[in-house]
Structures are given as structure tokens and as C-alpha cells.
A and B are shown apart, each in its own frame.
Chain A
Amino acid sequence: MSLSFLLLAVAALCALSFYFGRQRAVALSGGRHSNLHSLPAHYGAYTAAWCGIPALFLILIWYMFQGTVIETLIISDLPAEIVNDSGQLSLALNSISLIAAGNGEHLSVSPEIIDAGRRLGNLQTVANVALVVVILSAAVLGLAVSYRKIEAEMRARNNIERIARYVMIGCSAIAILSTVGIVFSLLFEAMHFFTKVSPLEFLFGLEWSPQTAIRDDQVASEGAFGAIPLFAGTLLITLIAMCVAVPIGLFSAIYMGEYASPKFRAVAKPALEILAGVPTVVYGFFAALTVAPFLRDNGAVLGLDVSSESALAAGLVMGVMIIPFVSSLSDDVMSQVPKSLRDGSYGLGATKSETIRNVIFPAALPGIVGAVLLAVSRAIGETMIVVMAAGLAANMTANPLQAVTTVTVQIVTLLVGDQEFDSAKTLSAFALGLVLFLVTLGLNVFALKVVQKYREKYD
């Protein structure tokens, strides 16, 4: 709550400094705006920027480091035997934060922990107060300094425009920052994981059962981290999805683009696009509660043993989800085939379907391949459908009627619920995430390149 208060306070100070800056400029001008270099509002904006931007920046920095700094302070005061055992440490930190939040009455912990909890509570209070003081004084300081700098000859507009430019560059840099953030957080934890499990075993191992020992004396369950069954399951489901999405998407695009009357298109095209707007959790529910039982029951009638978490159900529904993706991308691509090629084919007496099959489709093929690759990348990264409709058991099978598991399913199951950080089990999720990121990134970069090259050819 104190954060929103602080933000409001800074906003109010900004408004105030805008007013002050403007007033001072008006006063300096002696009533004639032409005496000023810039408009009075520019001087106001100048002071407001100096008041607000450093303050906001400080808040950001503060929040990035407050938690870590306080945690380090707390840990440094804890007994060594707790600090050196990562399991105990995370338990202790948990209790400490509970105590600090005032919810620790029922905990039976050592007095050091209770002490630490109190200290944490104090530290947090101090930190919050300090934050408010630092931020507000920074804002006021900015206001005062910039106010005094205002003179009639000051190039306020140029100044404010330069500031605006830096702000815009900062905003653009966020795109880079998030990529860097993704890469580093995945790499960092994955490296951690690879100190426990060798990358070779992870990438080429054939057994996946991430249950590690909870207590030290449980030697029996070591946990196996061979991700091949996950990759195989992901590929199987992706393949099924593509078998649905590619032909249906492609033929829909062809019919929409080449045959449909404008009226038909006006209705059918948005209707198809609805499929893309449906949240994936809805597809997951549909797959798990409608499609999977339907397949299981009908399979039973035919004498087939269909698992109720079959790869087929998840794949079919995922395929439906991807149809509009494939169809709109290939529609784009095919409509870029120049009209002269169609004319050439019609002029030789080809029918519409012959023209499409023999001329338009081959001409658009690179673009369509790109579109399909983008769709594959989307299918690989899709999470909710498989979490809800695919299984958890890491089976190595090519039988679509059986249950398989996927990379994304495992990431979710490993990280949802209570987790001890630092265990190989939890860390393996980040290794899987890293693989997922790299594979989809590679597919996308490649596909975008293919599509771009294709576009250039016909532009």
C-alpha cells in the first residue's frame, strides 16, 4: 500500500513542479511569451521531469535490491549451521518472514529465529520509511534544482525533448532487457542444475522420474533426469496437432482466398479467428472433459484401449487452436503471389484448382513452410492444453492413444505447489525451460527469415 501512496505523492509533486515551473517562466517573460525561448508549458514539463524521473528510477532500483539486501543482513546474523544447510536455511527464512509478518505465533522455532524474525520486521519498517524519505527528498531536490535553473534564455523545449528521447530509448531497451532477463534467469538456474545432473544425461537420458529424496536417508529414490521421453511426447502431440492444423488451415485459406464469395468470407473469416481468441485454458478444459472421454468411449466401442489422457485428445484440440494461425499466415503468403502468375496459368487454360496446385502453391511454398514452422513453435510452447489433457507419466511411445507427457507439462508440475529451491527437481524445470526457449527461438528465427526472404522475392 505504501508503494501506491508513494507513487501518488510523486505524481502530486510532479504536478506541483509543472505549475511552479510554468509560473516562473511566465513571471520571467514579463507577460510576453516571445521573451522566452520556449513555451511556458515546456518549462513546466522540464521541472516536472526533473522531479519525477529520478524519483521513479530510484524507486525501481530500491525495489530491485531491497529484498536481497535485507535477506543478506538477516542471514549474516544466523548461526552457521543453519546457513550452511540450504534446506534448513530456506525453512528458517520462511519462518522468519512469517514471524516478521506477525503470523508466527504458532511456530515452534529456536529463539534465534524469533529474534531474526523481529529484526526482519524492524528492518522492513525502517526500509519502508527510508524509502519514502529518500524518494520524496529526491523529488523535492529535483524540483528545487530545476526550478532555479529556469531562465528566459534556457532552451527548455530542447531540454525536455532530449529527456523524452532518453525515456523513449529506455522504453525500447526493455525489449532487450526482457530477453536478457529470460536468458540469464534460465541459464543461471540451468547451470545450477547441470552441476547436479550432467547435461549429457539430461539431453540423452531415456528415463524421467524427477522424484528426489526428501530426507537424506532415503537413498532409494535418486531421481532420473533423462528428458528424451518429454521431447518425444512433445513431438508426438505437436505432430498430431500439425496433422489437424496444416491441412485444415491451408484448405480454409485457399477456399477463403480463391473461391469464397465476399459475403461468405465476411462471415467465415472472423468466425475462424474466434478460434484464435479462445484462451488456452478453455481448450484444455474442452480437451480434458469433452474430447478425451469421447475418444475413450468410442475407442472402447471399437475395441481400442484409449487412455483417458491420450496424446490424441490433447493433439487434436491443440490442432484446432492452431488452425486460424496457419490459415491466416498462409492466406497472407498466398495472396502475395503476383497476379501475373495466375493470369499466366489461366491464360493457358488451367482451371482454378490446377492453378492453385501447380502455380500458386509451389510459388508460396517457402512462405507456407515458414508459417508451418511458426505454428510448430507455438504448439511446442503451448502449455495449458497439455497440462489439463495430457498425462504426467513420461512414457516413450509413438502410440497416440496412450498418455505421454511434454516439456511444458513437466515445467508446470515441477514448479507448481510447494517447492524447495535448490533441489535438482525444481532446477530441472529451468533446464527444460531453457531447452524450450532455445528450440522455439531457433524455430522462430529460422521461420521469420524464410518468410522474409519470400516476401522480398515478390515485393
Chain B
Amino acid sequence: MLLTPQSIGWKLKSTLYFITGAIASFLALPIFFIVALSFGSSQWLIFPPPHWTTKWYERFFDNPQWIEAALTSLQVALMTSIIATAIALPTSFALVRGKFAGRDYLYSLFTLPMIVPVVIIAVATYSMFLSLGLTGTLVAFVISHVIVALPFAMISIINSLKLFDKSIENAAVICGASRLEAIFKVTFPVIKPGIFAGALFAFLVSWDEVVISVMMASPELQTLPVKMWSTLRQDLTPVIAVASTLLIFISIFIMLVANILRKRSL
């Protein structure tokens, strides 16, 4: 009922198809539009453009900075995602399973990095890294990104841990497993989607972070959003659309590969 396709009527089913189809088009529209923009000849994003061209692609590949920036972004985002998840995991266990008072208040304390305007975090951490002499380093990028990514990872994991029925884990312990073993073999597999979603959020927060990154960047080290932001501010060139288009195709490719691997393993 309501959660298996067989159990809902065709009326509800077709309404659902229609509604979600509309929302999916809403989500997809700007993405396809970026692809179209990247081939438009107008530098000023006039659409439809006077004619079509691939000159922005030439511009993109003429400039090694874009590729370097993308690689830096990837590196920073991966490290951020791993560290944020590693810190968020024990935190979530303590907050959900713990029996001490004030857990809700600790929770809101840990979500503070989401509430404080990013500009403030950016200026505050930038001053700190300046006095430590770390600005423009990978360390500064990763630490400052972990700060803002942590709440995302934490909320996601807490959410799935809350729904996990602890008695299953207890059953494993009663059957002779150690608590740690039970957590690794029983609990983790069940809350895996939550952990994965948390890691993904952390990755994306870092991947898309603009305001802090602009502060942390140096001429030698910048991430993709920094490169895009400075390009957007000065020249609205469709090279940005090119960069986005390539990113879109990379993510489609990753999704396809993931799907194929999943089918094989079944």
C-alpha cells in the first residue's frame, strides 16, 4: 500500500507520473539550456543566438587553468567528503544513541556552520589562516570546506540512524557478536544510504563552494567555482557554459558506469 507499485490504483499512478514528470522537466530545463548556450555565438547570452559555434570550446581547451581548477576541486571535495563523514559518523552515534542531557542543543550547536552566513565564516577563517600562514594551501581549502560540509553529513546520518531499529543490532549482540562487530555488520549496511547521502552532500557542498573558496584561493591554487566566479564577474563568456556542459557529460558518464556495474553485480 502506497509503497509498492502493485498496490496503488492507476489513477494515482498516472497523476504521480504526470506531476513528477513536470518536476523532472523543471529540474532538467536549465541543464539542457546550458548545453545549448555553450554552442551559442552570442557572448551576451542572447537566446536564440544569431548562429551556432564551437569557438567557446576552443577557448576552454586553450586555457589550462580550467582543467587545473577542476582537478583541484575534485581533490578538495574528495578529502572534504571523507573527513566530514569520518567526523560526523561518531557524532551521530553519540547524539542518537547517547543518554546524556542536552543532545538537541548540541545538535543545534553543530548545525551552526549552516546558519552563520558564509561570508562571516569566510572572513573569520580567512583571518585565522592568514595568521597561520596557510592561505592558498590545500589544507586551508579542505579545513574550511569541512566546516560547512559537516552539518550536511551529520544531519543525513542522524536521520537514517534514527530510523534504524536498534533491537536488530541488539539481537546480533545476543547471538554472540561483539557490539562493534554488530555495528559494522548489521547497522552500517542498513544505514549505508544515509552515510552515502551524507558523504555526497559533503562532496557537493565543497564542489560548489564559492564564497569561502574565493577567499582561500591564490593564483597558484584555485577551485572550479573560483575560476567561474571571477570569469562571471568580469566577462560573461559562454566558456562557463562549456565548463558546465563538460561537467554534465562527466556526471552522466559516471552514472552510466555505476548503472552498468550495478547490473553486472546482480
A, B co-complexed:
no
